[in-house]
Structure 1
Amino acid sequence: MVASEDIKKTVSQEDADPSARNPMLYDPLQDGVVKTSKTRQYVAALIMCLGAVAAGTALAWTSPVLDQISVHPPANTTAGNSTMGNATIANGTSPIPLPLPSEDRLQLTAGQQTWVSSLLAIGAFLGAMPTGYIADAIGRRYTAMVMNVPFILAWLSIIFANSAGWLYFGRFLIGISTGSFCVVAPMYISEIAETSIRGTLGTLFQLLLTVGILFVYLVGSMVSWTTLSTLCLFVPIFLFLGLLILPETPVYLLKKGQRAEAALSLKWLWGRYCDSRSAIQVIQNDLDQAAADAGILDLFSNRGARNGLVISILLMFFQQFSGINAVIFYTVPIFQSAGSTLDASVCSIIVGVVQVIMTLTASLLIDRAGRKILLLFSSTVMSICLAILGAYFDMKDSGKDVSSIGWLPLLCVVLFMITFSVGYGPIPWLMMGELFLPDVKATAVAITVMANWLCVFIVTKSFGTMIESLGSDVTFWFFATCMAAATIYVATMLQETKGKSASQIQSWLNGR
């Protein structure tokens, strides 16, 4: 009888917590039935990554919408197509015409369009800044709830906007939530996942981001901008409802000394028959290895944390300086040079479908192939594709006949998108959650995400200047050089983290 009672001790009772007698905490080890269920881990990750869907809809929203709410040339203007007409106005080479009669309540000038596009990046940078501290103060789940509110308010502001000012406000708010979820979602996922599926779950953020982008490309080509915005509003509403059923992460609860709640969280996530006592002990060991209350200075003074931060920021740098935005910008002219008659919206949908399919493929491969090999494959192929695109534009701009090889840049774009989606698209987000101990994770992830958005801003703002001053060919060669540097860096400096525990990863980062 004594042995039986000892076997049925809960995690909290072992810590002399007589108030915790929840039968859900019992580990049925006496029957030898110890197994975990991965279903709820996937459910929890998918719910949290609805924030990534919301971010994807926000990022892609301007693509189908700006043309609907912007000043258009008068009917007698001779322009090749609407895209070229807008480009002429944006470059300031012709006076801005009077708006055509329209039922739309908004008619944005070229300058206003720029602000609508760029305010999201500014908001995302500022939103990422405090999120790590908030997540350490109130928990990952409650942080997601709080930072979901700007998503909802932003879409309401956009839907009912009757002036550019309300659009600015909505885009800034939506940027705050986007930046926040870039921090809290990977953090939450990395703290609930078993080691065996940590890679797969870690890629869900990028996968659901591309799903949100594809949703806007598809729906935005068929409905008005107000209808599209209304549909986008439902994503954060569903996210809020989903967050109500999710538990807090066991790591955060243990960090706050709530051992019984941490065990209940594990039972919810890993299944009734998991060995919660052993899992809790592993997490506790990692917490004991970390400092109790590490500050931002500890992030730089601790060798392992400092190395992890350098790796995370460099991976984000290479992600953005892969030229992904440049390639997407040139998708339409490249399709046209290959003899395609597809319009811009169809080209965008094709790119979106490729991204979704290949990011899904990455989620299936990443725990089999590993992070390092996929990064090497991604940067190597992208570097080659970018170099070929540079050569193509060099020949085209110098007046050579490139009609016979119009298929070559099209092939390069497709290969580029495929390899980006299986490597530098999802893996930097995944590894960002793997490389830090709980004491510095919130701060480190926030700094990494801020660095990412800073790179987004730099590349986006400088791209047009590079094209004008250096030419398309040199611009693509610059990005190709960055990817070649990424290949060398990953090959020489990065170790594989697939299947490794937090303590094993820290041993590598600390040079042991």
Structure 2
Amino acid sequence: MFESAMANNASSSIHPNPMEANFIRSIHSVGATLACLLAGFAMSLLGRRGATLYCTIPAYVCGYLFIGSAPSVWLIILGRFLTGIGLGLTLSVPTVYIVEITNLRVRGTLGVVPNLLCQIGIFATYVSGRWLDWSGLAFLACSVGLPFFLVVWNIPESPIYLSRCGRTEEATRVTTLLDLKTASLPVDCQPKQKLDGETHTILGSIKKLKNPEVWKPFLCGLGLMFFFQATAYPLLIGSTVELFREAHLAVDEHLATIIVGIVIVLNSIVAIPLARSYDRKSLLLVSGTGTASCLFVLGTFFYLKDLDMIEGYLTWMPIISFIVYIAFFMCGYGSVSWLVVAEVLPTSERSFVYPLAISGTWLFNFVFAHSYIPMTLAMSTAGIMWFYASLSFVGVAFVASCIPETRNQTAEQIAHFYTQGWIFCTDPNNDIKAKTDISETSFEP
């Protein structure tokens, strides 16, 4: 959002050249990748709550302070890098925490809430950007740090982390507080194991990938995150003003962006009951097909515009297509993809392997973001839309083949998909559906 705000603020004393603008657009992905690689270690050393308090929040506050007070482009880039670290931790730690403190009955709903709050933040940025320049936006974002710290300070630590550290009484107290109706912790979380004091390293996490029970779901989760980025949503949502300006909309592009922000929030709200009521795999398939189709329509619009064939009602095609595109993205990729990646991973390795999968997400994001401007110049806006549409259609085939259904499934059922079925087969979970009451809580997803 900040790179878009800078591009549209003529009064700013800082005017990045194309190379610097490209770095501002993409450098946060490098910070997020690094943060994901370190997230497992941070969670093992400080806990899920501690990693947020002492790593995530300081990264955001320092980053936004650097951006808001920056006298030069390179301090803005440093600030973007630090906020990228905060973003990487935000997308790694809370998902693990949610999976570990919730039961199967409510996990789908709570797993979508972070996405809703993220989209509310995007909408707030759109609205604020109508009146604030990029430095004002940075200081506004920085001000959220204090209430963020106070809220996290008052939440309990993950009982799985407490148990692994030998703090059984605290773990039991948290399970009672959270009304987790279970008599015992999962076997892999018993205090006797204690994970050698949880002294895991990045290298140790990578070594775990030699186990087929880990690398198969890891690769599939990584693939899902690749196609998440291939929908181009993270790129397009930060470039709405430029896109609508290029489309020559009949309304002010800033007003159109605010409308899009409202649509984003509304669809994020709708995604909550969808995630609770429908299979996650089905939502991903519908989401992928819909986003690919909308990207194809957007590409067709810009192609016709280049030929001067757009007139009349066709001028509304980009904003209508973009609104429908957001709706399809939010119903699947935007709401459940992060949760699915966490759920397919083995419980015992999730806190270390999940951040590795998310680090891959940000590597993909960096590649897509850094190549967006050069590819657009080489292929035209129409060509880049068709390129992402093609990738999204491939993503539909990938989800159908390589991602199991995880809604209301135990860890054993999900693991069975990768040990007995996996690719190009019917979901073996259909043959071993659990007959247990899902109101009984397990710490395993």
Which TM-score tier does this pair reach, normalised by the shorter chain?
0.7 to 0.9
Q: Give, in whole Å, the separation in 2 of the partners of 1:437 and 1:287.
A: 16
Structure 1 residues 400, 198: closer, same or farther in 2, change over 3 A?
Answer: same
Structure 1 residues 155, 246: closer, same or farther in 2, change over 3 A?
Answer: same
In 2, are the aligned partners of 1:292 and 1:439 still within 8 Å (CA)?
A: no
Tell me if 1:323 matches 2:212. Answer: no
* Identity across matched positions, percent: 27
Match of 1:232 in 2: 141
Match of 1:284 in 2: 187
RMSD over aligned Cα atoms: 2.7
Match of 2:111 in 1: 202
Match of 1:357 in 2: 266
In 1, are the aligned partners of 2:112 and 2:335 still within 8 Å (CA)?
A: yes
Q: Give, in whole Å, the separation in 2 of the partners of 1:367 and 1:298.
A: 35
Tell me if 1:299 matches 2:202. Answer: no
What secondary structure is seen at the aligned counterpart in 1 of 2:115? Answer: helix
1:24-63 Cα deviation digits (max 9, x unpaired)? xxxxxxxxxxxxxxxxxxxxxxxxxxxxxxxxxxxx2333
Q: 1:218 Cα shift?
A: 0.9
What is the aligned counterpart of 1:213 among 122, 140, 144?
122
Q: Give, in whole Å, the separation in 2 of the partners of 1:402 and 1:330.
A: 24
In 2, are the aligned partners of 1:61 and 1:216 still within 8 Å (CA)?
A: no
Structure 1 residues 156, 109: closer, same or farther in 2, change over 3 A?
Answer: closer
Match of 1:130 in 2: 38
Structure 1 residues 297, 107: closer, same or farther in 2, change over 3 A?
Answer: closer
1:43-82 correspondence to structure 2 within 5 Å = 60-68=1-9, 72=10
What is the aligned counterpart of 1:120 among 13, 18, 28?
28
Q: In structure 2, give the amino acid aligned to 1:62.
A: E
Q: 1:470 Cα shift?
A: 2.4
In 2, are the aligned partners of 1:64 and 1:221 still within 8 Å (CA)?
A: no
1:84-103 correspondence to structure 2 within 5 Å = none
In 2, are the aligned partners of 1:337 and 1:406 still within 8 Å (CA)?
A: no
Q: In structure 2, give the amino acid aligned to 1:275.
A: K
Aligned pair count reads 412
Tell me if 1:422 matches 2:325. Answer: no
Match of 2:428 in 1: none
What secondary structure is seen at the aligned counterpart in 2 of 1:497? Answer: coil
What is the aligned counterpart of 1:275 among 160, 163, 181?
181
Match of 2:15 in 1: 108
Structure 2 gaps of 5+ residues are: 422-445
What secondary structure is seen at the aligned counterpart in 2 of 1:500? Answer: coil
Q: 1:144 Cα shift?
A: 0.9
What secondary structure is seen at the aligned counterpart in 1 of 2:407? Answer: coil
Q: In structure 1, give the amino acid aligned to 2:166.
A: G
Q: 1:246 Cα shift?
A: 1.1
Q: Give, in whole Å, the separation in 2 of the partners of 1:338 and 1:224.
A: 24
Q: Give, in whole Å, the separation in 1 of the partners of 2:384 and 2:134.
A: 33
In 2, are the aligned partners of 1:378 and 1:422 still within 8 Å (CA)?
A: yes
What is the aligned counterpart of 2:373 among 451, 464, 479?
464
Structure 1 residues 153, 469: closer, same or farther in 2, change over 3 A?
Answer: closer
Structure 1 residues 492, 165: closer, same or farther in 2, change over 3 A?
Answer: closer
Q: 1:287 Cα shift?
A: 6.4
1:261-306 Cα deviation digits (max 9, x unpaired)? 1111112222xxx5342xx34x236769x99568335532222211
Q: 1:340 Cα shift?
A: 3.8
Q: 1:248 Cα shift?
A: 0.9
Tell me if 1:378 matches 2:287. Answer: yes
| TM-score normalised per structure 2 | 0.84
In 2, are the aligned partners of 1:286 and 1:503 still within 8 Å (CA)?
A: no
Q: In structure 2, give the amino acid aligned to 1:108.
A: H
Match of 2:304 in 1: 395
In 2, are the aligned partners of 1:432 and 1:445 still within 8 Å (CA)?
A: yes
Structure 1 residues 218, 399: closer, same or farther in 2, change over 3 A?
Answer: closer
1:11-50 correspondence to structure 2 within 5 Å = none
1:307-364 Cα deviation digits (max 9, x unpaired)? 2111211111111111225544774576568874333322222222211211221122
Tell me if 1:413 matches 2:322. Answer: yes
Q: Give, in whole Å, the separation in 2 of the partners of 1:507 and 1:438.
A: 14
